[in-house]
Amino acid sequence: MLQAPSQKALIPFVSVENMMRLVHHIGVETLLEELAGVVEGDFRRWELFDKTPRVASHSREGVIELMPTSDGEIYSFKYVNGHPRNMSHGLQTVTAFGLLAEVSTGYPVLLTEMTLLTALRTAATSAMAARHLARKGARTMALIGNGAQAEFQALAMKAVLGIENVRLYDIDPAATEKTIRNLSDSGLSVTACRSSQVAIEGAEIITTCTADKQFATILTDNMIGAGVHINAIGGDCPGKTELHRDILLRADTFVEYPPQTRIEGEIQQMAPDYPVTELWQVVAGLAPGRRDDNQITLFDSVGFAIEDFSALRYVREKLRGTGFYQEIDIIADPDDPRDLFGMLQRAQG
């Protein structure tokens, strides 16, 4: 059912409803753990992929982006937006959809929602990075910013690293209350904190995931002690950061794709020669990650197309035998490939 399409084939489409069914069918934590493994596997073969910074259209309100890549056999792209003010209108800050295609024919083989899937792949990538960069045995994380991404981040760290305690802070108490409610049956010990300073006390992993499109200082240098791993995922476009630059002067910084991260990540604050390590090199054993328990590590994560490729590939495989998709007709299939107009004529009447 999900094989490469022939002329007459219909394309599998995963709606939001079916994506939710698939997630519950697999189990959220199982999915996050498996997806972290798939992302890690694709990072190991990073050099095989076409890589380009995402194609972005910026406005005062936000950004709309296309994120393409290919491993030479499969092509993928994601359409995604980021509009922080959407929440005030009852809309999602981030929405997305994605596509997989067969390189040899150019035919699509999967079309799917990616609003949920992006949250899952972002969390899985964060946890995969922390597996390589955080101190071994870390059990407590702080989540600064308790919006749509928060629960996914917490559950991924639990599934992949064994995190047991989550300390929360958001400038909007309702967001923290929402996160506590949603994690009430997760097995995590969840604590609401009155400030970001209080939230990071005792945390071995700090995740920042705020939404405002501005140069912000969510963490200051004096807040960060030795041995902490920082997972910065909110600063993901030009003019948007979360960390004071002095933190970066003390930290060893790991990134996905430097040409993109230097424009969009925390390191946009730094000089062009600010040293970074590409995370794929750590995963592949070509560069060191955490060297000792006192090192401050920073994963300056802006999201990259290869992670979406991994997520789409994972979903395509997991769909087999489930029925959690519809087949849609988006490829014209004239009996004679040269006679597209004849196909149109025959549809009249």
Contact call for residues 96 and 117 (beta carbons, < 8 A): yes
Q: Which residues contact 244 (CB under 8 A, 6 or more apart)?
A: 217, 219, 220, 221
Q: From residue 124, give the alpha-carbon distance in Å to each of 154, 201, 342.
A: 10, 24, 48
- The residues facing 12 across adjacent strands are 327
For β-strands 63-70 and 55-58, DSSP reports them as: antiparallel
Distance in angstroms (rounded) separating the CA atoms of residues 84 and 76: 26
Question: Which phi and psi angles does 321 have, rounded to 5°?
Answer: 80, 5
For β-strands 11-14 and 326-328, DSSP reports them as: antiparallel
Q: Give the tokens for residue 66.
A: 């296309």
Cite the active site residues: 236
Going through the chain in order, the beta strands assigned E by DSSP cover: 11-14, 55-58, 63-70, 74-82, 96-102, 108-113, 140-144, 165-169, 189-192, 205-208, 215-219, 229-232, 241-243, 252-255, 277-278, 297-300, 326-328
Which helix (H) or strand (E) segment holds residue 260: the answer is helix 258-264
- The residues facing 79 across adjacent strands are 66, 97
Q: Which residue has the tokens 């560069």?
A: 287
Question: Which phi and psi angles does 325 have, rounded to 5°?
Answer: -165, 165
Q: Residue 6, exposed/middle/buried by CB under 10 A (0-12, 13-18, 19+)?
A: exposed
For β-strands 326-328 and 229-232, DSSP reports them as: unpaired
Residue 180: CA count within 13 A, CB half-sphere: 13
